[in-house]
Amino acid sequence: MLIRPLLFLLLVASTNILGESLYQFQNTADEERFYSLIKEIRCPKCTSGSLASSNAPVSEDIKKKIIELINEDKTDDEIRLFLSDRFGIEVLYDPGLNRSTYILWIAPGLFLFIALLIFFFRRKA
């Protein structure tokens, strides 16, 4: 049959999919949440890239875990916390807003504000 020469593919598949359910969601909103989330979670094994762009075994595992958590009605923030506890905060492409990241989020607006200030100030002078 065709299965025989496809063993090289199964080598990748079999260690992953031992009787696990596939991407089953309770509703479309959850499905959309999932696809949106995986774009902002980093693949911990890849040099760079999100879970959405990776089919590494660990990415698949994390995706399944995310689905599990979504189906358990966990919020997006809870899911992010779950993953960052295990893989470090570097696994989140959104570094969040906290004491050490304030500068990241505020600097662009500050830059724009100061630049506009200088521009109008110099024109008045």
Among the listed residues 26, 75, 78, 95, the single contact to another protein using CB under 8 A: 95
Cβ pair 86, 41 in contact under 8 A: no
Here's the x/- map for another protein, 39-68, by CB under 8 A: it reads as xx-x-xxxxxxx-xx-xxxx--xx--x---
Q: How big is the site for another protein, counted in residues (CB under 8 A)?
A: 66
CA distances from 56 to 23, 43, 62, 78, 119 (A): 16, 8, 10, 24, 50
97 binds another protein (CB under 8 A): no
Q: What are phi and psi of 54, to 5 degrees?
A: -125, 140
Answer yes or no whether residue 30 interacts with another protein by CB under 8 A: no
Coil/strand/helix, residue 32: helix
* Residue 78 binding another protein, by CB under 8 A: no
Nearer to another protein by Cβ, of 20 and 78: the residue is 20
- The string of DSSP letters for 36-102 reads HHHHHBB-SSSSS-BGGG---HHHHHHHHHHHHHHHTT--HHHHHHHHHHHH-GGGBSS--SSTTTH
Residue 112 makes contact with another protein by CB under 8 A: yes
Give the residues lining the site for another protein (CB under 8 A): 2-3, 5-6, 8-20, 22-23, 31-32, 35, 39-40, 42, 44-50, 52-53, 55-58, 61-62, 65, 85-95, 100-101, 104-105, 107-108, 111-112, 115-116, 118-119, 122-123
